[in-house]
Chain A
Amino acid sequence: MKVSIDQDRCVAAGSCVTAAMDVFDQRDEDGVVVLLDPEPPAGLAAEVREAAAVCPAAAITVHE
Chain B
Amino acid sequence: MSVPGHVVIVGASAGGLTTLEALRRLGHDGAVTVIGDEIHPPYDRPPLSKQVLSGAWHPDRAALRTAEAIGLLGADLRLGERAVALDSATRTVTTSGGMSVRGDAIVIATGATPRRLPGSEGVAGVHVLRGLDDTLRLREDLEPGRRLVVVGDGVLGSEIAATAVGLGVDTTLVGPQAAPMRLQLGDEVSALLGQLHTDQGVRLRLGTAVDGLVVSEGRASGVRLTTGEVLPADVVVIAFGAAPATDWLAGSGLYLDNGVVCDSRCLAADGVWAVGDVARFHHEHLRRSIRLENRTNATEQAMLVAANILGADRAYTPVPYFWTDQFHVKIQVYGTPTPEMRFGVVDGSPESGRFVGVYHLGDRPAAVLGWNMPKQARQHRQLLLPVPVPPKG
Contact = CB atoms under 8 A, between A and B. Distances in A.
Binding partners A and B: yes
Given A15-B296, A28-B375, A49-B25, A57 B46 contact: yes
Interface in B302-331: 303, 321, 323, 325, 330
A31 B374 CA distance: 5
B295 interface: yes
A11 interface: yes
Contacts of B374: 12-14, 26, 30-31
22 contacts: A11-B46, A11-B325, A12-B375, A14-B374, A14-B378, A17-B378, A18-B378, A26-B375, A26-B378, A27-B375, A30-B372, A31-B332, A31-B375, A49-B25, A53-B22, A53-B303, A54-B296, A54-B299, A54-B303, A56-B299, A57-B46, A58-B65
Interface residues of A, number: 20
Interface of A: 9, 11-15, 17-18, 26-28, 30-31, 49, 53-58
Range class of the B interface residue count: 20 to 34
A5 B135 CA distance: 26
Given A11-B325, A12-B330, A12-B332, A56 B375 contact: no
B231 interface: no
Given A28-B375, A31-B330, A12 B65 contact: no
Contact of B300 (A27, A30, A54, A57): A54
B21 interface: yes
B211 interface: no
A58 B64 contact: yes
Interface in B42-94: 44, 46, 61, 64-65
